[in-house]
Amino acid sequence: MDPNNEHGVKRYLILRTADGSPLPTNPWILSETVKRIQETRSEHTYTNLQTVMKLLNNVAVVVEPHPTYNNVKFVFTCGSIASLIEDEIKTHLEEDNVTDVYRFTRKSDGKSVPTNSYVVTMQAVKIPEYIYIGMERIKTRVYYPRPIRCNTCLQFGHTKNNCKNGEICATCDEKTLGPCTLPAICTNCGGAHSAFDTNCPKYKQKAQLIKLKIDHNCSYREAKQMIDSSSGPKQTLASTMKQRINVAQIIISLKQTIQTLKSRSRD
Ligand SMILES: [Zn+2]
Ligand SMILES: [Zn+2]
Ligand SMILES: [Zn+2]
């Protein structure tokens, strides 16, 4: 028995309207507009909730697994699988709910050389402390992806495939390309360094946002609020947490709605 539902894997579902319109504003039916999250450890609830088609006021809704909260990424280092390709490793780890394995590379003399470090995607909501590679028990580490930077315009937040800007020089921030002897000006912060410099304050800020987002399991916006609150006026961590509590209340109201819905459908 598990009366408090403390065991089992916690998973997240989201609720949205079937036609993409905002959810009802009445908090007793459901609150406000955006997607709401339901978390559960019960297999039965997880399956049952996904059959909910309508709210009390007949608004057609869809309940589906959350696209990102049910997956985690982590890193491990192991030399004894160096001869295997990523797909083979993934196949061996499928029992552990691993869905993707990516091997890191490093640059050496302009060529990509594989390393012994791997990033793993696993169906779980918390990263495991260890991963077993055959008989070997290997400690895992948190994966912090590097900030996305465009190779064409060198700005953050998009890749060259989605770039709407022109190509610029990584050294001098001018549109003329090729070997450059001009003094360095970073296109992102205006500092006296190349746009590829990882000591760029803008780069560091982006990296810090990613770290906060992962460490606190929060959205990019919430992470930004935490940084703003530590430097700017009173948008504090406490108020960020308060917003999260409001979401928790909405979840409670959602649970009540579903309970009522269930008891009605039994009548
Ligand atoms: Zn770009
Ligand atoms: Zn230049
Ligand atoms: Zn810079």
Taking CA atoms, 252 is separated from 66, 207, 219, 247, in Å, by 18, 34, 21, 9
Q: How far is the CA of 229 from the centre of ligand 3 (A)?
A: 23
| Ligand nearest to the Cα of 170, by number | 2
Q: How far is Cα 174 from Cα 188, in angstroms, rounded to an integer?
A: 13
pLDDT, residue 26, reads: 58
Environment of ion ligand 1 (residues, CB < 5 A):
150, 152-153, 163, 165
pLDDT, residue 34, reads: 37
Residue 208: band (very low, low, confident or very high) from pLDDT cuts 50, 70, 90? very high
| Ligand nearest to the Cα of 187, by number | 3
Which tens digit of pLDDT belongs to each residue from 95-152?
888 999 999 999 888 899 999 999 999 988 788 999 999 888 999 999 999 999 998 9
Residue 266 predicted with pLDDT over 80: no
Q: How far is the CA of 152 from the centre of ligand 1 (A)?
A: 5
Q: What is the largest CA-CA distance in the chain?
A: 80
Residue 166 predicted with pLDDT over 60: yes
| Ligand nearest to the Cα of 195, by number | 3
Q: How far is the CA of 151 from the centre of ligand 1 (A)?
A: 7
Average pLDDT, the chain: 79
pLDDT, residue 210, reads: 92
> Would you state the torsion angle of the CA atoms of residues 103, 216, 258, 1, taken in this order, to the nearest 10 degrees?
80
DSSP conformation letters of 78-115: -STTTTS-HHHHHHHHGGGTEEEEEEEEEEETTEEEEE
Q: How far is the CA of 161 from the centre of ligand 1 (A)?
A: 8
| Ligand nearest to the Cα of 149, by number | 1
Across residues 212-221, what is the average pLDDT?
A: 83
Query: Which residue in 23, 88, 90, 8 sits closest to 61, CA to CA?
Result: 23
Environment of ion ligand 2 (residues, CB < 5 A):
169, 171-172, 180, 182
Which tens digit of pLDDT belongs to each residue from 57-75?
677 888 777 767 778 899 9
pTM, two decimal places: 0.61
Q: How far is the CA of 107 from the centre of ligand 2 (A)?
A: 23
Q: How far is the CA of 170 from the centre of ligand 3 (A)?
A: 10
Residue 1: band (very low, low, confident or very high) from pLDDT cuts 50, 70, 90? very low
Q: How far is the CA of 175 from the centre of ligand 3 (A)?
A: 17
Q: Which residues, including other chains, have CB under 8 Å from residue 137's CB and lie 6 or more apart?
A: 130, 131
Query: Which residue in 186, 155, 160 sits closest to 171, CA to CA?
Result: 186
For residues 261 and 180, which has the higher predicted lDDT (pLDDT)? 180
Q: How far is the CA of 72 from the centre of ligand 1 (A)?
A: 28
Q: How far is the CA of 164 from the centre of ligand 2 (A)?
A: 20
Residue 37 predicted with pLDDT over 80: no
Q: How far is the CA of 259 from the centre of ligand 1 (A)?
A: 49
Q: How far is the CA of 180 from the centre of ligand 1 (A)?
A: 20
